[in-house]
Structure 1
Amino acid sequence: MDKNKKAHILVVRLSAMGDVAMTVPVLNALVRQYPHLRLTVLTRGFFKPMFAQLNNVAVFEADVKGRHKGVFGLYKLYRELSKLQIDGVADLHNVLRSNVLKAYFKLGGVPFFQIDKGRDEKRALTARKNKVFKPLKTTHQRYADVFEALGFPIDLKGALSMSRQKCPEKVYELVGREARPWIGIAPFAAFRGKMYPLGHMQRVIEQLNALDKYKILLFGGGDDERNKLAKIAKANKNAFNMVGELSFPEELALISNLDLMLSMDSGNGHLAAMYGVPVITIWGVTHPYAGFYPFGQDPDNALLADRNLFPLIPTSVYGNKMPEGYERAMETITPDDVLAKIDRVLVTP
């Protein structure tokens, strides 16, 4: 495609909050470097607020559990998208659904390029035998490569963070207006292998609370996580449970105002990184070498499990494979390690 042309590109990234959040800095760089481009992001409607600050970017909701379900539903989706006069498709997902859409768009003569997920490299990185332990291309760069294939190379080095949003009044009603640094803590993850032991995290929160100089804002989702965090907040006067208290746009606005986010290898770290908030990540059986490190973050802000004791790390890309005994890998990262890193990040400009 002609990079000087006023083109309309469809961007496909259907699910997983962290993966969708990782598209934001890439798309931000794209529309800044090619202001004549128009983008439509095909994703879950829930994720629409993530893209609110991006120029020339619209969101088209994929209802994959409803009217867009199955092959016939995807054909209906294709027909709906065709009315938008799409000039090219950047598939940042490359799964069965997007491959079905690929077939439809190819029949319509629309250029369609897909992400190379580097599956062979990732299998080698996570192998038990003959492991090839080396850093792989970042997911952000893999996204950028798709746009380069479409004719729009992106320089990610100059990518800017999104602006801090006005903090909702509701947040102040929950945590008060006292001027203290805000530390966000997101202690949960989709898989056990990526989650810091909750008892260890409680000790981190207790120590931060005892300093009496921070507001500690706890993030999660669902009733189980809400109940666990409610108990922690009740026991620590400077800790506040945010689960279920805010809408998603309000939560994003809050995250943009944090002084620090402490998270697992999970979505909240990527949400904070969108706004340039310093992020400390805790890694268990996954590893930054797989390419999922939050955008623009200091590599030194990653706290890693001890590979001398657990040499099979990373055992998987997503944390869903955990060899026997590896459930204890994160215990090699002590609460004191976490507290020291928080102190360094908040004190060091």
Structure 2
Amino acid sequence: MEKNRTPHILVIRLSAMGDVAMTVPILYGLIKKYPDLHITVVTKPFFSPIIAQIPRVKVIPANVKQKHKGFFGLWKLYSELKVLNIDGVADLHNVLRSSILKQFFRLQSVPFIQMDKGRKDKKQLTDPNRKFFKPLKTTFERYAAVFDKLGYPIGLNEMHSLPKEQIPLKKKEFVVTQTKIQIGIAPFAAFASKTYPTELMEKVIALLDNTKKYSIVLFGGSEQEKKQLTAWEKSFTQVTNIAGLYDFKDELAVISNLDLMIAMDSGNAHLAAMYSVPTLTLWGVTHPYAGFYPFQQPISNALLADREQYPKIPTSIYGNKVPEGYEDVMRTITPESVVQKINEILSEQSS
């Protein structure tokens, strides 16, 4: 690196939403710890708002389905990046696309460190005949190890969450009431095995709604999800569905102002946690031991499916493998236990 030039690190994390959100505490911590460091993050365009609010961190969107698709598309992406005078690359994704980029950056002799995903350990964790059952390294620790090798060590206690954002005013204005506790509910996940059964979540909402103490905000994405959320909004008096009401950037602002988020083992849990919002997570065939637990959340904020009844849990890291007979593991988490945990978290928060 040239003398007196500001150091510049490139970070690659293309997907998924939760994994991108988990980069926020470490990136924010690095910026605070190393005042002369500049960071550029390559991620999918939709995820840009997750990163964009961190000072001295620039986002370059990678459109891997169009402009940057395939080998020649990645070469085009590399051509856009190499002019940035990058001093090192932190590959926090370690997939085929980023490995191809690694070969390109070798042409400039730029240090390129890839995250160790711990595939062997994760395979052992999800083995039904496992001999050991213990927590693996967290994703935050795996991310930190990459920066350590680039010469920017950072500890878990040096990572930081983001401050609240200002909620925008739209045509359909969403106002945070000062008299009611704001509870967000993100009831969906990528796989059914990680999604709390609809009728049980509806009972949770009914129990909360009946108290008249809470303002409940629903989050979702797909058209099918929006349909379910709209039905709940019509059925309950204290419920607001904001799916499709705001763009992603503004939705993040709403999340940052919640008093509590209820989510699955999914991206929304990590979005809430990156703002230090107390987050209650419900777990099915996956498990916090895999290393994807939300940032700085007490493990007591997780409600887990019954492993005595379903000892093969976790059956997979991402929830995409469900052994026969394990389709209903989340039914071992009762709506009453969810509401009880909500009350406990809110009570601790107010004390």
User: Which TM-score applies when normalising by structure 1?
Assistant: 0.97
Match of 1:207 in 2: 207
Match of 2:310 in 1: 310
Moved more, 71-80 or 203-212: 71-80
Helix, strand or coil at the partner of 1:169: coil
Helix, strand or coil at the partner of 1:182: strand
- Pairwise CA distance, 1:177: 3.9
Contact 2:176–2:182 (8 Å) recurs in 1 = no
Contact 1:22–1:295 (8 Å) recurs in 2 = yes
**1:67-78 correspondence to structure 2 within 5 Å:** 67-78=67-78
Contact 2:281–2:301 (8 Å) recurs in 1 = yes
Match of 2:139 in 1: 139
Distance 2:11 2:324 in 1: 40
Contact 2:33–2:158 (8 Å) recurs in 1 = no
Contact 1:175–1:240 (8 Å) recurs in 2 = no
Moved more, 173-182 or 243-252: 173-182
Match of 2:118 in 1: 118
Aligned partner of 2:156: which letter? Answer: L
Distance 1:257 1:170 in 2: 16
Is 1:264 aligned to 2:264, yes or no?
yes
Distance 2:171 2:186 in 1: 17
Structure 2 CA distance for partners of 1:94 and 1:343, relative to 1, 3 Å: same
Distance 2:298 2:170 in 1: 31
Match of 1:283 in 2: 283
Match of 1:324 in 2: 324
- Pairwise CA distance, 1:272: 0.4
Distance 1:317 1:51 in 2: 25
Distance 1:173 1:56 in 2: 32
Aligned partner of 1:329: which letter? Answer: V
Helix, strand or coil at the partner of 1:272: helix
- Pairwise CA distance, 1:258: 0.1
Equivalenced residue count is 348
Match of 1:187 in 2: 187
Contact 2:14–2:44 (8 Å) recurs in 1 = yes
Aligned partner of 1:294: which letter? Answer: P
Contact 1:139–1:292 (8 Å) recurs in 2 = yes
User: Which TM-score applies when normalising by structure 2?
Assistant: 0.96
Moved more, 169-178 or 14-23: 169-178
Distance 1:19 1:38 in 2: 21
Match of 1:155 in 2: 155
Contact 2:6–2:36 (8 Å) recurs in 1 = yes
Distance 1:143 1:155 in 2: 11
Match of 2:333 in 1: 333
- Pairwise CA distance, 1:168: 1.7
Match of 1:222 in 2: 222
- Deviation string 1:210-266 (CA, Å, 9 cap, x unpaired) is 000100001010110000111011100101111100111110000000000000000
Contact 2:12–2:42 (8 Å) recurs in 1 = yes
Distance 2:175 2:322 in 1: 38
Match of 1:238 in 2: 238
- Pairwise CA distance, 1:52: 2.9
Match of 2:91 in 1: 91
Moved over 6 A (4+): none
Q: CA RMSD in A?
A: 1.6
Distance 2:9 2:24 in 1: 15
Aligned partner of 1:289: which letter? Answer: Y
Helix, strand or coil at the partner of 1:170: coil
Contact 1:215–1:238 (8 Å) recurs in 2 = yes
Moved more, 314-323 or 152-161: 152-161
- Deviation string 1:187-226 (CA, Å, 9 cap, x unpaired) is 0000011111111000000000000010000101011000
Aligned partner of 1:222: which letter? Answer: S
- Pairwise CA distance, 1:130: 2.8
| Structure 2 portions without partners, runs of 5+ | none
Contact 1:29–1:160 (8 Å) recurs in 2 = yes
Helix, strand or coil at the partner of 2:23: helix
Contact 2:255–2:272 (8 Å) recurs in 1 = yes
Helix, strand or coil at the partner of 1:263: strand
| Structure 1 portions without partners, runs of 5+ | none
Identity of aligned residues (%): 57
Contact 2:172–2:245 (8 Å) recurs in 1 = no
- Pairwise CA distance, 1:5: 7.2
Match of 2:20 in 1: 20
Distance 1:90 1:235 in 2: 48
Match of 1:46 in 2: 46
Distance 1:75 1:160 in 2: 34
